[in-house]
Structure 1
Amino acid sequence: MKQLFIERLGHRGEGVSRDGDRRVFVPYALAGETVAAEIAGDHACLLEIIEPSPDRIAPICPCYTHCGGCAVQALASEAYAQWKRGLVEAALRNAGLSLDLGPLVDAHGAGRRRATFHARMDRGRARVGFMAARSHEIIEIDACPLLAPELAGALSAARALAQILAARGKPLDLWFTATLDGMDVDLRGAGPLEEHETGALIAAAERHDLARLSNHGRLVTLRRPPMIAVGAARVPLPPGAFLQATQAGEAAIAARVVEAATGARRVADLFCGVGAFALRLAENARVAAYDSAADAVEAMMAGARGATGLRPLEGAARDLFTRPLTAQELAPFDVVVFDPPRAGALAQAKELAQSKVNTVIAVSCSAQSFARDASILLSGGYSARNLTPIDQFRFSPHVEIVAVFSRETARGGAKRRLLG
């Protein structure tokens, strides 16, 4: 056991200390604290808080420090917001960028509308919950205070479904999504189902009032088509489809995207998913939307067909990592929105930097890949404004970013600012 002083919170929400010349990460410790910890390599297990931070508060969940779902739950709100906003500041600084960053926007709302539970089989019994921090150990939980009310029955349903497949001995992931029509569930890891398993799963879906149950995206039972609301549209959700984690998060991001596109006549929405932005943008502009997931694009178009008052919306399946829209293909658009996965949009950012598009709206779930893509756009002559960090993953190190890049501002004299 060693006594350590915590210098700061790291980018994963762990306390950062020093043991001689070695940097040590201490989960659940806060900046400014003196703690007793057991060191193993470059990580340590927190044993005792000797001198607590004045910013330490009581956590809201009894599973905190056991379940790995939350990294920073014992930090007072103001200090928490500073830390989370600082994650974006640090990523920009590390990329050599000095850009104005707005305050953190709280977009937790009613809670997470999607969650992935993990199941591991122990002598015929399914253990269901979340994984411990930096571990594959399952921490069984009965409830999670971060989930939206529509997922209140999710853990009970997850245990029932996993228990039916416990005899296989395979680890499972159970993807739950709250929809307008109830919970939508996609099982991952089971493989092809036997007839008796299918029957038992259908019965469990009935007992737990699931809207739909799928296995690796293949339908097991459909009781009600799961729909989500996107602007004026109702969109049929593909199994396991990507959604922003909270409804409040989607609304906060979309509001900024729509505002930045005000006055646009033609808009391209890249990495469009099921149309969280495209369907809203189509209320005022002609939109062309692209995503590699063909089922997501089809769902977006189905939502558009059922909505009234939309301008023309075109959708196409296209892998923008290997086939980004070229600068020539981007020429007809006065606004482009892109919201890539965590890896960012390296190839597409390079094409945008060579294009003459007036306004590019970047949405990102990774501060590091955002900083890289932003640097490419800035080097291509864009200037940045309205950088906003958005927190829909409360108590975690994940943060969303929305930013507007403009050639018009650049022509007006605003310059890229580099550190050093």
Structure 2
Amino acid sequence: MTEYTILRVGHQGDGIAHGPIFAPMTLPGETVTGTLTGDTLSDVKIVTPSDDRVSAVCRHFKSCGGCQLQHASEDFVGTWKGDVIRRALAAHDLAPEIRPTLTSPAQSRQRATVAARRTKKGAMVGFHGRASGTVIEVPDCQLIDPRIKAGFAAAHDLAVVGSSRKGVLAVTLTLSSDGLDVSVHGGKPIDGQLRIELASLCDRTGLVRLAWDGETIAMRTPPRHDFGDAQVVVPPGAFLQATAHGAATLQTLVIEAVGEAKRVADLFAGSGTFSFPLAKKSEVHAVEGDKAMVEGLDHGWRMSKGLKPVTSEARDLFRRPLLPDELNRFDAVVLDPPRAGAADQIAELASATVPRIAYVSCNPVTFARDAFQLTQAGYVLDWVQPVDQFRWSSHIELAAAFRRA
């Protein structure tokens, strides 16, 4: 049988041999065999294991698609994630300081979207299988907070009540300060009877809020989230950082990057993850495209005490980025854009004179593109900090600090 030597790990977490040939759950330096179909090996067997190979901590690892790198040591994964960022920047001739990766602990995910499907005997809840649409039950998942895991029972009941036999619900379970907040997509169209059943289920299972395809069906109490010294009620299914550790780490890094700035613009601000910690020392103007999130942010500031002024603006920064004359009113800018990056907003920043920029990114490739444009315009990229909220996955996040030369 043909043997293959794994040369490196790709962006999706698969080992890559010459060809390229992709071999899931393998590591650099390993010799492996398997069945080659197209450019992918299946039924992989390890002939010569790497010293970085470890036993997976979760019994669902081989079947569940939630994790890609449980077979690798924590040191290997942290170094690999830093190297992915390093290579993305090197493609643009950038070589800043890249700090050691900071990783969230196991069983700390405070938000997860599970798949829930009706069956003949009831329902099943879990994650999609590796490279398939099959739902895999994961009662011993090592990623999620136990309180999220407790919500699987509610997801089960939601599938029984509100899904068709052929459909699969996407059930987002989010921890709030008040309990479990649940948002469901892909269910039956809402009608009077289903509304009654869902409201009853919400009360019976102790959910603080239940939303169905964006509509709030029942709310026992507004689900609050702590951002610094403020409490904010976010819209159903709104973006939040994956772990409390990750959120706190990124907040600390953003505060470091803006330094002593007195006025800060927080762009792609969401519900205020960075706005409120910054407002302990700085006046903040928060800009976000989602109007409901802006309303929640504004209400959170009005109900808080001891913070500097936080103003907010609902504005689509992809269609209408802040212009240089608007940006130049601030001592620092914070950006936390989606995976596509912020090319149009970066172009305006490149023409502005803002002294400091803190950039939070979930995509090293688009970050490197934007970083290159800023450095071409005279900014210095001082440091990059990898932050691993998605433990054992190929997902990579980072925070970075820029300053005007």
User: In which range does the TM-score fall when normalised by the shorter chain?
Assistant: over 0.9
State the match for 1:13 in structure 2. 13
After superposition, the C-alpha distances for 1:241-288 in whole angstroms (9 at most, x for unaligned) are 100100110100101111222321111000000001111111111111
- Give the 5 Å matches for 1:123-138: 125-138=122-135
* Distance in 2 of aligned mates of 1:256 and 1:341: 18
Quickly say closer, same or farther: Cα 1:124–1:192, change in 2 above 3 A.
farther
SS of alignment partner, residue 7 of structure 1:
strand
Alignment match of 2:97 (pick from 96, 100, 113): 100
Q: With the length of structure 1 as denominator, give the TM-score of the two structures.
A: 0.93
Query: What is the CA distance between 1:191 and its match in structure 2?
Result: 4.9
Alignment match of 1:275 (pick from 254, 272, 275): 272
State the match for 2:150 in structure 1. 153
In structure 2, what residue type is equivalent to 1:342? R
In structure 2, what residue type is equivalent to 1:45? S
* Distance in 1 of aligned mates of 2:92 and 2:82: 16
User: What is the aligned-residue RMSD (CA, Å)?
Assistant: 1.6
Query: What is the CA distance between 1:224 and its match in structure 2?
Result: 1.7
* Distance in 1 of aligned mates of 2:199 and 2:229: 33
State the match for 1:417 in structure 2. none
| 1:331 aligned onto 2:331 | no
| 1:199 aligned onto 2:200 | no
In structure 2, what residue type is equivalent to 1:186? S
State the match for 1:341 in structure 2. 338
| 1:119 aligned onto 2:116 | yes
In structure 2, what residue type is equivalent to 1:372? R
* Distance in 1 of aligned mates of 2:125 and 2:329: 50
Partners of 2:99 and 2:383 within 8 A in 1: yes
In structure 1, what residue type is equivalent to 2:25? Y
* Distance in 2 of aligned mates of 1:164 and 1:143: 25
Partners of 1:109 and 1:246 within 8 A in 2: no
Query: What is the CA distance between 1:77 and its match in structure 2?
Result: 1.8
- Give the 5 Å matches for 1:302-341: 302-341=299-338
Alignment match of 1:46 (pick from 33, 43, 48): 43
Partners of 1:92 and 1:371 within 8 A in 2: yes
Partners of 2:107 and 2:142 within 8 A in 1: no
Query: What is the CA distance between 1:14 and its match in structure 2?
Result: 0.6
SS of alignment partner, residue 254 of structure 2:
helix
State the match for 1:286 in structure 2. 283
After superposition, the C-alpha distances for 1:320-368 in whole angstroms (9 at most, x for unaligned) are 0110001111111110000001110000001000001111111101111
SS of alignment partner, residue 97 of structure 2:
coil
Query: What is the CA distance between 1:52 and its match in structure 2?
Result: 1.5
Quickly say closer, same or farther: Cα 1:397–1:70, change in 2 above 3 A.
same
Partners of 1:108 and 1:393 within 8 A in 2: no
Partners of 1:124 and 1:169 within 8 A in 2: no
State the match for 2:21 in structure 1. 24
SS of alignment partner, residue 264 of structure 2:
strand
After superposition, the C-alpha distances for 1:117-141 in whole angstroms (9 at most, x for unaligned) are 1234455853321112222222122
Alignment match of 2:243 (pick from 221, 243, 246): 246
After superposition, the C-alpha distances for 1:1-30 in whole angstroms (9 at most, x for unaligned) are 643221111111111113xxx311111112
* Distance in 2 of aligned mates of 1:323 and 1:107: 35
* Distance in 2 of aligned mates of 1:3 and 1:163: 47
Deviates more, 1:293-302 or 1:194-203: 194-203
Query: What is the CA distance between 1:201 and its match in structure 2?
Result: 2.1
* Distance in 2 of aligned mates of 1:231 and 1:291: 18
SS of alignment partner, residue 193 of structure 1:
coil
State the match for 2:260 in structure 1. 263
Stretches of structure 2 that go unaligned for 5 or more consecutive residues are none
In structure 2, what residue type is equivalent to 1:166? S
In structure 2, what residue type is equivalent to 1:149? P
State the match for 1:413 in structure 2. none
SS of alignment partner, residue 3 of structure 2:
strand
Aligned length: 405
Query: What is the CA distance between 1:165 and its match in structure 2?
Result: 2.1
SS of alignment partner, residue 8 of structure 1:
strand
Partners of 2:59 and 2:140 within 8 A in 1: no
Partners of 1:366 and 1:400 within 8 A in 2: yes
| 1:229 aligned onto 2:226 | yes
In structure 1, what residue type is equivalent to 2:149? A
In structure 2, what residue type is equivalent to 1:87? V
Alignment match of 2:392 (pick from 392, 395, 414): 395
* Distance in 2 of aligned mates of 1:2 and 1:46: 13
Query: What is the CA distance between 1:238 and its match in structure 2?
Result: 1.1
In structure 2, what residue type is equivalent to 1:55? D
Query: What is the CA distance between 1:66 and its match in structure 2?
Result: 0.7
Alignment match of 2:403 (pick from 393, 403, 406): 406
Partners of 2:322 and 2:345 within 8 A in 1: yes
Alignment match of 1:62 (pick from 51, 59, 63): 59
In structure 2, what residue type is equivalent to 1:214? A
SS of alignment partner, residue 46 of structure 2:
strand
Query: What is the CA distance between 1:32 and its match in structure 2?
Result: 1.6
In structure 1, what residue type is equivalent to 2:12? R
SS of alignment partner, residue 336 of structure 1:
strand
In structure 2, what residue type is equivalent to 1:57? V
State the match for 2:368 in structure 1. 371
Deviates more, 1:390-399 or 1:98-107: 98-107
SS of alignment partner, residue 338 of structure 2:
coil
* Distance in 1 of aligned mates of 2:86 and 2:43: 28
Partners of 1:126 and 1:166 within 8 A in 2: no
Query: What is the CA distance between 1:39 and its match in structure 2?
Result: 1.4
Stretches of structure 1 that go unaligned for 5 or more consecutive residues are 411-420
* Distance in 1 of aligned mates of 2:188 and 2:94: 46
Quickly say closer, same or farther: Cα 1:70–1:109, change in 2 above 3 A.
closer
Alignment match of 2:182 (pick from 180, 185, 192): 185
Partners of 2:106 and 2:144 within 8 A in 1: no
| 1:80 aligned onto 2:77 | yes
Partners of 1:212 and 1:222 within 8 A in 2: yes
